[in-house]
């Protein structure tokens, strides 16, 4: 039984480390996961509300 608990904790540590690294990469890339948002035309921009007159 003791060996079974040790293997479960080792797997948990490995999976937790992988998830932590993936989360850190996601946060550091600004949520793009390595992709770059490029604005090539006006349609790529968010809509803007008209100003008050």
Would you state the pLDDT for residue 40?
83
Chain center to CA of 22: 7
Rg (CA), the chain: 22
Report if pTM > 0.85.
no
Q: C-alpha angle 44/30/47, rounded to 5°?
A: 25
Residue with tokens 């990469």: 25
DSSP element (H, E) containing 4: helix 2-28
Locate the domains of the chain by residue range: 2-44
Q: Could you read off the pLDDT tens digit of each residue along the chain, which spans 53 residues?
A: 455 677 788 999 999 999 999 988 888 877 666 566 677 888 878 888 887 87
Retrieve residue 5's tokens: 């608990």
């Amino acid at each position: 039984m003791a060996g079974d608990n040790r293997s479960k904790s080792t797997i948990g540590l490995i999976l937790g480390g992988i998830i932590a690294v993936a989360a850190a990469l996601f946060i550091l890339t600004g949520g793009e996961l390595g992709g770059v948002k490029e604005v090539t035309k006006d349609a790529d921009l968010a809509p803007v509300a008209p100003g008050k007159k």
